[in-house]
Amino acid sequence: MGLRFTHVNGASPNKRMIETMGSGAGFLDYDNDGFLDAIVVGGVPEQGPRLFHNEGGKRFVDVTAASGIRTPGIFGMGVAVADFDNDDFPDLYLAGYPRNYLFRNSGSGRFRDVTAEADVAAGGWSTSAVFFDYNGDGWLDLYVGRYVSYEPAREPFCGIRKDGWRSYCLPDVFGGISGVLYRNRRGRSFVDATREARVAVPEAKTLGLAVSDYNRDGFPDLFVANDRVRNFLFRNRGDGTFEDRAELDGVAYSDDGAARAGMGCDFADFDNDGNADVLVTNFETEGAGLFRNDGRGSFTDVANRSSLGRRSYLFVGFGAKLVDLDADGRRDAFVVNGHVIDNIALYKDSVAYRQPKLVFHNTGVGFDSIALPEDVSAPSVARAAAFGDFDNDGRIDVLIANNGGPAELLANVSSPDNHWLILKLVGTRSNRDGIGARVELRAGPLRQTHEATAGSSYLSANDPRVFCGLGPRRRAERIDIHWPSGTIQTLENVSANQVLRVVEPHEVKQP
Amino acid sequence: MRRQAALAVAFWLGVLAIRAWPQEELETAYDLIRRGEFTSAEQMISARLKAAPLNADALAAKGFLLAQQGNHTGAIGAARKALSLQPAHAFAHTILALSLLATGQRDEGIRELETLTRAHADNAGGWRNLGLAYLQAGLPDKAVPALRKRLELVPDDDLVRIDFTSALIRLGRHREARQVMNQISRDAELEEKLCQALLEAEWHPEVALRLEAWRNRAPLTPAMTRQLAEALAASGSLAESERLLAGIREPARDAHYALAAAWAQILREDLPGAVRTIQQAIRREPAEARLYHALAMVLLRGGAALDAVDASEQGLARQPDSAILWFSLGMANEYLERHGEAQNALLRSIELDPSNGLGHYVLALSYSIGSQEWAMVEASYRAAMRARPQDNLILNNWARELAKRQKWDEAEAAARELIQRPGHEATGHDVLARAAAARGKADEALRHFEMAVEAGSEDFGSAYRFAMELMRRGEHDKAREQLVKFRSSKTAAEERERERAVLVRLARF
């Protein structure tokens, strides 16, 4: 397909921790031609990111040189995509160590580095980043997660003092560092709102991020997955501030009250009850967490009630998403794995460095592990996973960034029997991408709730369009779109199997 | 005519072949074997078998001879042949059973002994062998009636009385054990054996009591001094233990002494001292498996698990069939989270000594963490609980394991047993609460969570789960209060350390 990229992590005998965390990947339609392009983040500073143009869903062409995207001096980590200046073209935020870059998309295929004027370099070791409009002003704000307080020159010795046994350190040996919340000033620049919004938590060791209005109060909330530190659930109070509800609402820890090694995460409604649930991947012997939202402000970890918890138990999970892979109307789970210690085989004989991808089919009563074809399931050291339908065939594909290895683009070739609908939202009173819009769909007995989001799980940016699997149904009888501006838009009798562009009406229409 | 003559010859040859071996001659053959005069015994048996190849007594004697020579496979063949000729041949059953046991065919061996004792209820040797086989198989509940039967038939067998005591202690029947012990003759050698059995059953206070009483009447032997020192150290009287050990002089400073001295040093948290003591003892007795095992356990306590692996492997190079060394190798590998290697070593250890309940337990932990294979986890836990029915730690973790896997019926049963055991009520209530919560019995869940927290659960997840249950019921203030307690009590790192500490706690010798 032409998407050739091999990540260079700079693996060294000094076992610098940053070498093992991988880099990100994302989908974006930077030229608005209707097909998702791809960006893959490089590892060592010399490598840099690569932008690939999608030629009609058939192949990808490397257009990095012409794009003007360069990130000198940083070890690449995450990518976030959104139209932060509401000019119709998706912009790029590239996170890394020891600083980050923001690129404004000119619309002509060129990007311009606006980091300095936007004042969003952050500093330190940034990981995942996500755009969302937390204050509802129609401009997308930016949250940047940071991992640990880190200086490669002061990397301690970890592992056993024996030839070949030095290992990458776990985050416990480093201090935490708060993420940064940037408030968007009408697309021109950003202001650091971390303190005023009450999301400054110095013990944070953030790897994954996910956004959803989980309590349906009209304000987007933020889930933060931390490594060996409790997770955060920043509930948006609607007044420009947040309250961390993770402990009280039950997503901070495992069922045993232990802080796990949170990596990738997603915030989506897997049981079609209208409430966004949380999926978090963790370290080996911890198992993934699947927190079911009861709609009354409480979550319960139900991962162990199906094969999701058991099957993920022996792996180090990173990128993950609740995504309807077979368009049957229920979100399945896709998880990529890979250990962080490259010589782990010296220490443990039941754990491998390269690990398989896991796919769990949502049966409606639980998750069943699915065996992938051999060429797809081959173990790798996977980190980021970006999801999107790059060939617009109604099946969500996956772009995987492997640490120190080639990127993989997995084309979804599941049975095309089921019907689907893709909504490309265009905000007018809301932010241009419609990020944060809640979509309620009804098709026969099927009820679904979706939210337009801009990523990010672990270091990744997903297709911002809303994908709805309809199963055998050929149309959706009714779709209600709750725009962030408060506008509610209703579509009726929408035919299946199309990418539908939906523009937010200027006038408020009552349901 | 010729055919009739041939048949007659065959008949008489058959009669000759099965003709009984005179008792006196048979006893002589047995005596020769017992005395180790194998060549003479073999000549005698061969001559008999030449004359009467289908003689069951001679075949059984041949089996006995082969078994004594270490050829258990040959012994099994001879005994089976004897039994095919004379199915009720008690001695052939015994030889077959003991050889099956010796070749690791434990279940078959036990079945053979069960057959023997069913057919010959007055066979005292059969009951003893059956009782010991049960005990070695980690089935003390079955050993008790077999050994009792033996004692009914041979009331003055004090050695069996010691085994009987051991079985009763493992079942937690300490009062009965004490009654049985009181019938054992006050003989120094027997007392040493009894105290060793009590130490192995971890009944340290009883050893201290017995030997203090002995000391009032007669001097302690070096072995008894070492045993008393060990018992006192384990009971907390460290200074007195060290004083006793200091009184032991060469050449009585044997492996037993080194083990007791090292244990006292461990209790003083002098791990380097313990390592030195054991290494010195290894130089004196380089083939003593217990010393390598102890060295591995001391190193494991100090977190030097790789060195513990080395120590175990060094010992196994000299004693490849030592169950305790395979156990220490398994423990050290499990500590290193090399679950596959740990499981292989522990399986070998259990194969050699199925009564090692801790071996089954560590294997269960390894399967639980390393492979998630429920069938193996369950089988290992059940074997561990059979071998150590009174071990609270095993029952405690079994209940937690069942809860983790949401096997609520069994989890509840284990939890109800736990709440009867002092010091373990908290886990019992926590598991009952989780089971109730899973079944939607919110009030019952809350009640048990509250009791778990009040009982001071070691599992800090109880406090968290309690808080979550309060949240679900909308009791937000109480939930917040509980979360504050939870937060101040533990961290995740401590929880991980707690899991490892379980292995370190088991690292005894």
Query: What's the pLDDT tens digit per position in A295-344?
Result: 988 899 999 888 898 889 889 999 999 999 999 999 999 999 999 999 99
Buried b (16+ CB within 10 A) or exposed e, A447-484: ebbbbbbbbbbbbbbbbbbbbbbbbebeebeebbbbbb
Q: Which residues of A touch B372 (CB under 8 A)?
A: 310, 313-314
Residue A32 has pLDDT above 50, yes or no: yes
Runs of H (alpha helix) within A223-262: 246-249
Instruction: Name the DSSP letter for residue B421.
Output: S
Model confidence at B35: pLDDT above 80: yes
State the pLDDT confidence band at B480, using cuts at 50, 70 and 90. confident
For the record, the structure tokens of A150 come out as 């880190």
HSE (side-chain half, CA atoms, 13 Å) at A162:
8
SS3 state of residue A309: helix
SS3 annotation, A178-205? CCEEEEEECCCEEEECCCCCCCCCCCCC
> Of the candidates A231, A230, B256, A146, which has an alpha carbon nearest to the alpha carbon of residue A222?
A231
Q: Report d(CA A182, CA A28) in Å as an integer.
A: 22
Nearest to A349 among B341, B471, B495 (CB): B341
CB atoms within 10 A of CB B424: 21
Strand pairing of A419-426 and A466-471?
Answer: antiparallel
Name which of A298, A304, A350 is nearest B370 (Cβ-Cβ).
A350
Best CA proximity match to A26, nearest among A423, A468, A398, A320: A398
Contacts of B459 in chain A (CB under 8 A): 256
Q: CA dist B154 to B14, B92, B149, B320, Å?
A: 39, 22, 9, 37
Interface test with B, best of A167, A203, A248 (most B CBs within 10 A): A248
Q: Measured between alpha carbons, how far is residue B77 from residues A44, B51, B107, B112 in Å?
A: 71, 20, 18, 14
Cβ atoms B132, B157 nearer than 8 A: no
Comparing A176 with B27, the larger pLDDT belongs to A176
How many angstroms separate the CA atoms of B324 and B202, rounded?
16
Which whole number is the average pLDDT over B166-179?
91
- Indicate the average pLDDT of chain A: 95
Upper half-sphere CA count for residue B319 (Cβ side, 13 Å): 21
Q: Which residues contact B371 (CB under 8 A, 6 or more apart)?
A: A314, A350, B339, B343
* Three-state secondary structure readout of B189-251: HHHHHHHHHHHHCCCHHHHHHHHHHHHHHCCCCHHHHHHHHHHHHHCCCHHHHHHHHHCCCCC
Largest CA-CA distance found in chain B, in angstroms, rounded: 110
Inter-chain CB proximity B306 and A160 less than 8 Å: yes
Q: How far is A125 from A292, CA to CA, in rounded Å?
A: 31
Phi and psi torsions of B252, nearest 5°: -75, -5
- Asked if residues A408 and A380 have their Cβ atoms less than 8 Å apart, the reply is yes
The answer on pLDDT for B18 being more than 50 is no
Distance in angstroms (rounded) separating the CA atoms of residues A222 and A213? 8
Pairing of strands A101-105, A111-113: antiparallel
If we measure between CA atoms, which residue out of A230, A438, A223, A246 comes closest to residue A320? A223
Task: Supply the DSSP string of B82-146, one letter for each residue.
Answer: HHHH-TT-HHHHHHHHHHHHHTT-HHHHHHHHHHHHHH-TT-HHHHHHHHHHHHHTT-HHHHHHH
Burial class of residue A195 (count of CB atoms within 10 Å of its CB; 0-12, 13-18, 19+): exposed
- Please give the average per-residue pLDDT across B444-471, as a whole number: 85
Query: Cβ–Cβ of B476/A259 closer than 8 Å?
Result: no
Predicted local distance difference test score (pLDDT) of residue B404: 87
Residue B192: CB partners within 8 Å, gap ≥ 6?
Answer: B221, B223, B224, B227
Are the C-beta atoms of residues A280 and A262 closer than 8 Å to each other? Answer: yes
pLDDT value for B490: 58
Of the partner residues B463, B479, B496, the one whose CB lies closest to the CB of residue A257: B463
Query: pTM, whole model, 2 decimals?
Result: 0.78
Going by their DSSP bridges, the two strands A498-503 and A419-426 should be labelled as parallel
**SS3 (DSSP) at A94:** strand
Evaluate whether A422 touches A466 at the Cβ level (below 8 Å). yes
Contacts of A369 in chain B (CB under 8 A): none
Q: What b/e sequence results for A249-264 when a residue is b if at least 16 CB atoms lie within 10 Å of its CB, and e otherwise?
A: bbbbbbbbbbbbbbbb
Exposure string of B341-354, with b = 16+ CB inside 10 Å and e = fewer, is: bbbbbbbbbbebbb
- CB–CB of A228 and B493 under 8 A? yes
- Rounded to the nearest angstrom, the minimum Cα separation between B338 and chain A is 4
Interface A-B: count of C-beta contacts within 8 A: 76
Residue A290 backbone phi and psi in degrees, to 5:
-130, 100
- Alpha-carbon distance B3 to A225, whole Å? 96
Euclidean distance between CA atoms A343 and A345, whole angstroms: 5
Q: Which residues pair with A479 in a beta bridge?
A: A441, A491
- Confidence class of residue B482 from pLDDT cuts 50, 70 and 90? confident
- What was the pLDDT predicted at B6? 45
Dist CA B304 CA B287 (whole Å): 23
Phi, psi dihedrals of residue A208, rounded to the nearest 5° = -120, 155
Chain-chain contact of B406 with A304 (C-beta, under 8 angstroms): yes
pLDDT digits (tens, 9 = 90+) for B401-424: 999 888 999 999 999 999 998 888
In order of A56, A57, A396, B498, the CA distances from A388 in angstroms are 14, 12, 5, 43
The nearest CA of chain A is from the CA of B340 a distance in Å of 6
Is the pLDDT confidence value at B13 over 70? no
Chain B contact for A159, CB < 8 A?
Answer: no
Under a CB-based contact definition with an 8 Å cutoff, are residues A457 and A338 in contact?
no
How many CB atoms neighbour CB B425 within 10 A?
19
Residue B58's contacts (CB-CB under 8 Å, 6 or more residues apart) are: B21, B45, B48, B49, B52
**How close is the nearest chain B Cα to the Cα of A257, in Å?**
5
Say how far apart CA B123 and CA B344 lie, in whole Å.
38
pLDDT for res B5:
47
Give pLDDT tens digits for A236-269.
999 999 999 999 999 999 988 889 999 999 999 9
**A478 close to B (CB below 8 A):** no
The percent of residues above 70 in pLDDT, for chain A, comes to 99
Q: Are B464 and A256 a contacting pair at CB < 8 A?
A: yes
Instruction: Say if A346 is an interface residue toward chain B (CB within 8 Å).
Output: no
- Map residue A160 onto helix, strand or coil: coil
CA B473 to CA B467: how far, in whole Å? Answer: 10
Q: Distance (Å) from the C-alpha of residue B368 to the closest C-alpha of chain A?
A: 9
The string of DSSP letters for A128-153 reads: EEEEE-TT-SSS-EEEEEE--B--GG
Taking the Cβ of residue A440 and every Cβ of chain B, the question of whether any pair is shorter than 8 Å is answered with no
Contacts of B115 (CB under 8 A, 6+ apart): B93
Contact yes or no for A247 and B405 at CB 8 A: no
**CB-based contact A52:A35 (threshold 8 Å):** no
What integer pLDDT is reported at residue B17 of this predicted model? 45
Contact state of A350 with B490 under an 8 Å Cβ cutoff: no
Q: What 3-state DSSP class applies to A330?
A: coil
A349–B483 C-beta distance less than 8 A: no
- Banded pLDDT at A194 (limits 50, 70, 90): very high
Chain B residues with CB under 8 Å of A174 CB are: none
* Chain A residue with the nearest C-alpha to that of B303: A160
pLDDT in tens, A80-91: 999 999 999 999
**pLDDT tier for residue B500 given thresholds of 50, 70 and 90:** low
The two tokens of residue B40 are 């003479």
What's the ipTM? 0.77
* Beta strand segments in B281-334, E: none
Q: Which residues of B touch A (CB under 8 A)?
A: 306, 336-341, 369-372, 404-406, 459-465, 467-468, 471-472, 476, 479-480, 483, 486-487, 490-493, 495-496
Q: Which residue of A has its CA nearest to B472?
A: A298
Q: Which pair of tokens denotes residue B396?
A: 């405690």
Q: Compute the mean pLDDT over every residue in chain B, rounded to the nearest whole number.
A: 87
Give contacts of A304 with chain B, Cβ < 8 Å: 404-406
Interchain proximity B306–A349, CB inside 8 Å: no
The CA distance from B147 to B140, in Å, is: 10
